[in-house]
Amino acid sequence: MAQTILENQATVDDIFREVNRIKTVVTDAVDDGVQSAIRAMKQGREAAEDAVHDARHAIKRNPLQSAGIFLGVGILLGSIVTFLAVRRD
């Protein structure tokens, strides 16, 4: 009987060791995922800032063309909104 208890104790220790190993693996995986997400957010923010900078530069370089594009987009969006509003009634 005493031998069986000692064998079970070794088994419990093995289980605790395995649980700790799995916990470490999961913790490392979550940390890696968080770091990847942070890196992706930083890259996305930098890309957005670059796009805004490029757009500002293009507008300053060609102000009349930019105004024409904005006018066209405004007319298009206004037409779509009007069409959808009329269609509902």
Residue 6 reports pLDDT greater than 70: no
Q: How far apart are CA 39 and CA 62, in angstroms?
A: 35
Nearest to 67 by CA among 57, 59, 79: 59
Enclosing domain of residue 40: 2-88
This prediction has a pTM of: 0.54
The mean per-residue pLDDT over the stretch 1-5 comes to 56
Residue 1 reports pLDDT greater than 60: no
Count of structural domains, the chain: 1
Residue 2 reports pLDDT greater than 60: no
CB atoms within 10 A of CB 30: 10
How does the average pLDDT of the chain come out, rounded?
89
Name the packing angle between helices 2-61 and 63-88 (round to 10°).
120
